[in-house]
Amino acid sequence: MFRRRMKHGKRYQEIIGALIRNGLGYLINDFGLAELLSVSPKKTDTPRANHRSTGERIRLFLEDLGPTFIKLGQLASLRRDLLPESIIVELEKLQDCAPPFSYDEVKNTIESEFGASIDDLFAEFNTEPLATASIGQVHQAKLHTEEPVAVKIQRPNIRPQIETDLEILEDLSIMLESRFAWAKAYQLRDIVDEFSQALLSELDYYLEGRNAERFAKQFEDDANIRIPSIYWDFSTKKVLTMAYIKGRKISEFFDGDVIGYRRKVISDRLIHSMLKQIFIDGFFHGDPHPGNLLVLPGDILAYMDFGMVGRLTEETKYHCASLVIALMRADSNAIIKSVDAIAAIPDDIDLHLLREDVEVIREKYYDIPISQLSLKDAINDLYHIAFKYHIRFPADLTILAKSLITVEGVVQSLDPAFSLIEAARPFGEKLLRDRYHPKKVVQKSWKTFLDQMEIALELPKNLRDISKTMRKGKFRMEVVVPDLHLFLEKLDRISNRLSFAIVLLAFSIMMVGLMIGTSISGQPTLIWKNPIIEIGFGVATLMLLWLLFSIFKSGKF
């Protein structure tokens, strides 16, 4: 870690400067950065930032540090199970925008990736970007086959910068876990690892292209959903070329009807396509905000930008459906059971208090018509409980929650009377019916039987291996000691007292030896002419009395 700090010293100084400028200088000591600073952290807070809320300071700090930290804030805004609502609200304001980079840099990137001139690759290439973000920007172009395309180019030198920031975040997470119980309880290092994987995957445009193709396959039989096709001959890890889709942003339909389009049909297609992705396919768009949704003539819906996706296993899909049904039925026991199946609940949690808080939510939604229920409110209430009891949800489920909340907001802007929970109920009930279909039950029972048989067949071999290991004296036992630091402190005190007692005993033996030797010889020695014996005896007596006093005082005689 020290070597990394030396290697990334300049970036650490930039982080320290951003903390100071945004009124977060008091975190410098907590982050273990004080030794990199030439002045005292107590003198570094900016008075102008003191009137801002903590959430606002954090948002400005992240914006100050650029793409990696902006992405960190955006992903952190999904984690209502980890952060208080006041900070989440500010993080949701983070915009993934950046100034455009020059056409010369675009050209250099494309030509270095393909080893050919941009004129050889494209018949036309618009020098002005269609859209710009922190990681890349999009340009409109045309192939020599006259097909219009959108070309996404990665920002130059963005990968080394992001990798540096990720190494720094990893070091900080390790340090915080060693210093603070809350960081260890939330497994901060694992969260940073999840974030790192998500961000690095966005830097690989091959992955985004494959995601787009997978979505296209999911909707190949649905003429009402359009996914842009990928041109692999013109794509690399840093350049992604896809079909150019011309349509209207879905936000254009929020304020009223548009001639030739039906808002209710658009909202129906959006919500049903998202629910199909989640509950049927288990592979869904992770960022369906209005900027990533286009509407084509005929009320055809087009999805864009597949850098962030979510995945759900069959088991997770089932438990998610169970949770939706439990929320609709206001069943406290079913809610707790579903959460327990999909989240990491601490062992020391007070289940009685948890049940009481779930009952409060149940009462809140009891006897309310399904059409009036808000999934956003229900999810936020659930995450409030998760934050309170340190219940940690998997990353894909936080992406799912964000996607559902975002889609519900878009749909309600198109059709205020639409209920996402009402629309989700058939999908949840279908999953439950499929779960208990006789064919599925037989399949699962057979799989369970095979798993148990495999364990039984392996048991003799495993027992034999354990027996061999024990005979060789190589059997290892791991002992976990709670509050290890307190245990070590007590061990130090015991060893110190034992050492003191040994020294006292040795001193006493030495004095007794001198006295006996002198009495046997009958001749006074040089030591005997001086009051050494009396002084030694006095010192030994004082030490003995002090030791006895300490033992009685501790109450552990």
List, by residue number, the catalytic residues: 287
Question: What does the block give as tokens for 166?
Answer: 């990720």
Bridge partners of residue 309, in order along the sequence: 285
Unique residue bearing structure tokens 């592979």:
283
Cα 512 from Cα 264, distance rounded (Å): 103
* Contact call for residues 402 and 81 (beta carbons, < 8 A): no
Which of these, 426, 323, 319, 454, lies nearest to 381 by C-alpha position?
323
Residue from 318, 526, 278 nearest 403 by CA:
278
Q: Across the strands, what pairs with 154?
A: 136
Q: ∠ CA 282-285-286 to the nearest 5 degrees?
A: 105
H helical segments located in 186-313 = 188-202, 205-218, 263-275
- How many helices (DSSP H) and strands (DSSP E) are in the chain? 23, 11
What are the phi and psi torsion angles at 543 (to 5°)? Answer: -65, -40
String of DSSP letters for 467-480: HHHHHTT-------
Q: What are phi and psi of 344, to 5 degrees?
A: -95, 105
The helix-helix angle for 375-388 and 395-414 (nearest 10°) equals 150
Amino acid at 452: Q
> Would you say 286 and 192 are in contact if contact means Cβ atoms under 8 Å apart?
no
Q: How far apart are CA 455 and CA 121, in angstroms?
A: 58
Residue 327: strand, helix, or coil:
helix
Identify which of 302, 349, 310 has the alpha carbon closest to the alpha carbon of residue 194. 310
3-state secondary structure of 295: strand
Nearest to 200 by CA among 236, 164, 234: 164
Q: Is 98 helix (H, G, I), strand (E, B) or coil?
A: coil
Q: Give the chain's length.
A: 557
124 strand-pairing partners: 142
- CA angle 33–196–312, rounded 5-degree value: 140
Q: How far apart are the C-alpha atoms of 150 and 230, rounded to whole Å? A: 10
Neighbouring residues of 501: CB distance < 8 A, sequence distance ≥ 6: 547
> Which amino acid, one-letter code, is at 538?
G
288 touches 403 (CB < 8 A): yes
